[in-house]
Structure 1
Amino acid sequence: MPEAAAAGTSVVGRVLRRIGWRTALLFTAILLPLWGFAELGEDVHKAESFVFDDPLLLHAKAASGPWLDQAFLGISWAGYQGIIVFDLILVVVLLARRRWREATFASVALIGSALLNLMTKQLFARARPSLWESISPQDTFSFPSGHAMGSMSLVTVLILLAWGTRWRWPVLVVAALFGLAVGAARIYLGVHYPSDILGGWAAAIAWVVGVYAAVFYGARRPWRALR
């Protein structure tokens, strides 16, 4: 009996080690962001206010100036039109290199993120902030932020594709800083509440990691082919 128990424990240990990283990935990168989005979405649906939204917006307005206006307008442009161009280039490059699975992952993750954002905006129908007249006015719904969701989707795709290679840390730092800058730009311009940005980030991370898990389930991870 002791030998059987030891053998059983050994088998369980091997299984846990094999699926451990997947379990951790699913929990930290899918379930937690989904929980955060659900919490934000519930309050938005009930039209409840967030204590940090207006103060952060007003703080951003107080710091505004001509050069910051131009800088954040440029970052905001890069976070939408620039993202679209980069997304297309990324998919084309992956296809040209015959990275079929990676191209499928990027395409589904990025296109799906855009469609998901359009649907959730209509679902929550949150009005834009109106604390002041923005220099970049928007007439669509506010939650979740399309700029935040699109940029974070690209950021997550790039990090997952690069992870495990020698480029992982440069990609992580540059991509994360870009995602943060886009979110800050939308708050600075007064066209999104900070909770819109958080909702966009959470939805993007959960969606992209979910697509990654589906596309690469049981297959060779992308970084092994990209070294």
Structure 2
Amino acid sequence: MRTEPNLTRVERVFARLDREPERPANLNVPRMSRHRVVLFGATLAFYLAIVVAVVTTSRLVAFDWEVMFFRPYQQWPQIHAFLDYWVVLGQRGPTAVMVMAWLGWRSWRQHTLRPLLTFGAALLLLNITVGAAKLGMGRLGPHYATTIGSNEMWGGGDIFPSGHTANAVVTWGILAYLASTPRARRWLSAASAVISLSVGLTTVYLGTHWLSDVFLGWTAGLLILLALPWVEPLITLVEARIFAVRDLWRSRRTGAAPEPAPAGAPAMVKGPSAAEEPATREPVGAARVVRAPGLLAPGPHTTRSERTPVTPAGSRRPPHADRVPRGATSARPVAGG
């Protein structure tokens, strides 16, 4: 009776993942289409509108103060402990390690560096753009605010836009960006949107960010995801260079140098053309070896199946000195009288 081993849930998951084909044929690299350009332009306009609204101390800044005075962490203290852990999904260090481990496995499975290089490019753009905006505007957070109703700009802070929110959008959104099927892209897009929205609102609940910080963080992360197709040619070039260096290193490591010929051994001399056979140079004083003549007669030779049977002419008996052929006189003298 044939019995199959009982697999655990983790083993069944890895068994299903192992069935994925290498280099999926439907792995389409996103391009900067007209629709994506329109979305990028609209998102950039929304980004600038939020910055202008905060700089000019508009109604958005007043709403920030209203939410801060509401103190959500005091209204619902029972979820405070859970949200302290949930906000980690927006921290760059832990999330980068988790996502990089998954994308590293995908890169090894598909024999391509594109997932890791795309994630690295997204994090680099995130650090440059969001970091420059934080340091350039220098907004203070709710816990360090000095004047009620002010925008707290250029006070030496670093919370505008929200780094947790922007990092959640990019880190989890990159999984949807690199998805190989439309269905997986839809599900991952929905999951990343829920995580990034919840992480941003969690920072408002904890009182570490203004609500406008979260709005700008969402917009900054979305701008990076929309702009990634512009970076795809550079990612392809870097991947090709890395593979070229790897192949060169492998060839140098596995390639064996030709061994020197021993002393007195015949050396091969290259002929004047590639069609001629290479000649051998004989050492001085060596005896010339005379080859035996060929056993076959010159001329074209056919296979045995193409030969026609030939009947031998004459007698098959070997010649004998004492025998005389019939009809011929003997050369010996006749004895007797």
- Where does residue 186 of structure 2 map in the other structure? 169
Give the direction of change, closer, same or farther, for the CA distance of 1:45–1:87 in structure 2 (3 Å limit): farther
Contact preservation (8 Å) 2:47, 2:219? yes
* Aligned length, in residue pairs: 191
Deviations 1:1-23 (A, max 9, x none): xxxxxxxxxxxxxxxxxxx9811
The match for 1:103 among 97, 116, 128 is 116
SS of equivalent to 2:76: coil
The match for 1:39 among 44, 49, 55 is 49
- Where does residue 89 of structure 1 map in the other structure? 101
1 CA distance for matches of 2:138 and 2:157?
9
2 CA distance for matches of 1:72 and 1:163?
32
Fraction of identical pairs, as percent: 19
User: What amino acid is aligned across from residue 94 of structure 2 in structure 1?
Assistant: G
Give the direction of change, closer, same or farther, for the CA distance of 1:84–1:102 in structure 2 (3 Å limit): closer
Give the direction of change, closer, same or farther, for the CA distance of 1:150–1:54 in structure 2 (3 Å limit): same
Question: Can you give the 5+ residue segments of structure 1 that lack an aligned partner in the other structure?
Answer: 1-19, 133-138, 220-227
2 CA distance for matches of 1:118 and 1:99?
30
The match for 1:54 among 50, 57, 65 is 65
Residue 191 of structure 1 pairs with residue 208 of structure 2: yes
2 CA distance for matches of 1:216 and 1:168?
22
Contact preservation (8 Å) 1:31, 1:206? no
Higher relative contact order (CA 8 A, sep 6+): 1
1 CA distance for matches of 2:134 and 2:181?
35
1 CA distance for matches of 2:180 and 2:53?
35
SS of equivalent to 2:33: helix
Q: How far has the Cα of 1:197 moved from its partner?
A: 0.7
Give the direction of change, closer, same or farther, for the CA distance of 1:115–1:214 in structure 2 (3 Å limit): closer
Contact preservation (8 Å) 2:72, 2:205? yes
TM-score by length of 2: 0.51
- Where does residue 223 of structure 2 map in the other structure? 206
Contact preservation (8 Å) 1:152, 1:205? yes
Q: How far has the Cα of 1:185 moved from its partner?
A: 0.8
Contact preservation (8 Å) 1:149, 1:204? yes
Contact preservation (8 Å) 2:135, 2:157? no
Residue 157 of structure 1 pairs with residue 174 of structure 2: yes
Q: Which has the larger radius of gyration?
A: 2
Deviations 1:100-136 (A, max 9, x none): 233322210123212322211001101101399xxxx
TM-score by length of 1: 0.73
Q: How far has the Cα of 1:172 moved from its partner?
A: 2.1
Contact preservation (8 Å) 2:169, 2:196? yes
Contact preservation (8 Å) 2:71, 2:207? no
1 CA distance for matches of 2:47 and 2:102?
27
Contact preservation (8 Å) 1:36, 1:202? yes
2 CA distance for matches of 1:127 and 1:157?
30
Question: Can you give the 5+ residue segments of structure 2 that lack an aligned partner in the other structure?
Answer: 1-30, 146-155, 237-337
2 CA distance for matches of 1:210 and 1:176?
18
- Where does residue 130 of structure 1 map in the other structure? 143
1 CA distance for matches of 2:98 and 2:164?
14
2 CA distance for matches of 1:85 and 1:152?
16
